[in-house]
Amino acid sequence: MFPPLEIRGGRGSYQTIMQTYKIAVLAGDGIGPEVMTEAVKVLKNVEKLESIRFEFEEALVGGAAYEAHKKPLPESTLKLAQDADSVLLGAVGGPKWEPLDYSVRPERALLGLRSELGLFANLRPALVFPALVDASTLKREVIEGIDLMVVRELTGGIYFGKPRGVTTNADGSQVGVNTLTYATYEIERIARVAFELARKRRKKVTSIDKANVLETTELWRQVVTRIHEAHYRDIELSHMYVDNCAMQLIRNPKQFDVLLTDNLFGDILSDAAAMLTGSIGMLASASLNETAKGMYEPVHGSAPDIAGQGKANPIATILSAAMMLDYSFGERKSAMRIYKAVEEVLKKGIRTGDIFTAGNQLVSTSQMGDAVVKELNV
């Protein structure tokens, strides 16, 4: 599930001595604190089983940070993230903060962390656990065996391009502007990540663009093709328009191995891929920079409608912690131990509400965390 990356620089890969990692714990808003508690619980149990130690330091982010500091990403939180070996994030945002000016909404904290930490590569695996095949809204034969990875460029594109904003004309009418822009080097480095991942999977990359109408993505296609021809001829490369990809994800998702996307297209397609698996509460993600420092977070949002009720599924956050162990720390054995524990829990029919079906055992957020910990110790 988590193939190692060439850009990884984790210190634990080649050492047998006790290794300590400092983790910035940013629980955030809504269900963030609940699912984060369970992920930290699992990591603390891993400490007892492996020759590694973790130093956890918490800080406010998103709406919680705005309430305390009037900004979603306080300087103290950013400094902690910069000083830590890795960042574990819960979720940010909610309707409560939607009336705020765009510049101080909780989601700006995510963009700030990505930019300041140089987290250009977002990895979102979409894998269907055999025990959850029937939890998907699609037919078994369509989704059984899905194992794909969305590689999304995270620090460029329309989310960061300038000029941007809303202006008012003399007649009172308004104009909104966002700029889609990519430099060659931004496309090159994310393409390399996708090709390196594909070498350790099924050796197939599908690059997503809209080159028939957007010149920026025409450049994207040209650069990806050039990198492929120069360095990765052992990988099968194909190109697909984003609208067709959205359709194919529903029609025949098993055709995909690694999906390479820009920022906007990846934001949309990764959520679509997530729902193939039965619940967005199951999907982890990693955002990496060129030194393998990362920010790890569940794909789901803050879900304020169920916050504080013990209904949230913590598995996505637990699997995000596993990705952190693998990609940033090089502790692959520990990462796979967590993954296998989750798999065993699901085989036993233990379910939170989002993946519950008749005949299974319905559990709370904390009970799901306890079940994973129990399997770790088997």
Give residue for tokens 């990496």: 288
Give residue for tokens 């993230």: 81
147-276 CATH, one of 3.40.50.2300, 3.40.720.10, 3.40.718.10, 3.30.420.40: 3.40.718.10
- pLDDT confidence band for 18 (50 / 70 / 90): confident
Query: Hey, what are 20's tokens?
Result: 């300590």
Quick check: is 271 catalytic? yes
Amino acid at 208: I
Q: Look at residue 3 and tell me whether its pLDDT is greater than 70.
A: no
The pLDDT value recorded for residue 141 is: 86
Alpha carbon distance 95, 305 (integer Å): 10
Query: Hey, what are 318's tokens?
Result: 């637990």
The pLDDT value recorded for residue 4 is: 44
The pLDDT value recorded for residue 292 is: 81
Collapsing DSSP to helix, strand or coil, 286 comes out as strand
CA-wise closest residue to 150 among 218, 34, 240: 240
Q: What is the mean pLDDT of residues 100-108?
A: 93
Give residue for tokens 């059984």: 144
Helix 242-251 / helix 263-276 crossing angle, nearest 10 deg: 10
* Most confident region among 108-112, 125-129, 135-139, 189-193 by mean pLDDT: 189-193
Taking only the tens place, the pLDDT of each residue in 25-63 is 999 999 999 999 999 999 999 999 998 999 999 999 999
As annotated, the residues of the chain forming the CATH 3.40.718.10 domain(s) are: 1-128+279-378, 147-276
Catalytic residue among 209, 267, 326, 354: 267
Catalytic residue among 83, 134, 243, 305: 243
- State the average pLDDT for the chain: 92
Alpha carbon distance 323, 86 (integer Å): 11
* Structural contact between residues 179 and 165, judged by C-beta atoms closer than 8 angstroms: no
pTM: 0.87
Catalytic residue among 29, 85, 210, 326: 210
The pLDDT value recorded for residue 232 is: 98
The pLDDT value recorded for residue 71 is: 96
The pLDDT value recorded for residue 89 is: 98
Q: What is the mean pLDDT of residues 261-286?
A: 88
Alpha carbon distance 333, 314 (integer Å): 21
- Give rounded-to-5 percent helix, strand, coil for the chain: 45, 20, 35
Helix 32-49 / helix 365-376 crossing angle, nearest 10 deg: 10
CA-wise closest residue to 21 among 328, 320, 298, 323: 328
Proportion of the chain above pLDDT 70, given as a percent: 96
Residue with the bigger pLDDT between 275 and 268: it is 268
Q: What is the mean pLDDT of residues 195-206?
A: 96
The pLDDT value recorded for residue 14 is: 41
Alpha carbon distance 68, 255 (integer Å): 47
Quick check: is 243 catalytic? yes
Alpha carbon distance 138, 153 (integer Å): 28
Residue with the bigger pLDDT between 258 and 132: it is 258
Q: Dihedrals φ, ψ of 366, to 5°? A: -70, -35
Alpha carbon distance 190, 173 (integer Å): 39
Taking only the tens place, the pLDDT of each residue in 346-359 is 999 999 999 898 89
The pLDDT value recorded for residue 17 is: 66
Catalytic residue among 159, 232, 296, 339: 159
* Structural contact between residues 200 and 123, judged by C-beta atoms closer than 8 angstroms: no
Quick check: is 267 catalytic? yes
Q: What is the mean pLDDT of residues 279-293?
A: 88
Taking only the tens place, the pLDDT of each residue in 238-267 is 999 999 999 999 999 999 999 999 999 999
Catalytic residue among 203, 204, 271, 340: 271
DSSP letter at 84 equals: S
Quick check: is 159 catalytic? yes
For domain 1-128+279-378, give the fold. Isopropylmalate Dehydrogenase (3.40.718)
For 86, 267, 272, 275, 354, the CA distances from 278, given in Å and listed in that order, are: 29, 18, 11, 5, 8
Alpha carbon distance 321, 135 (integer Å): 24
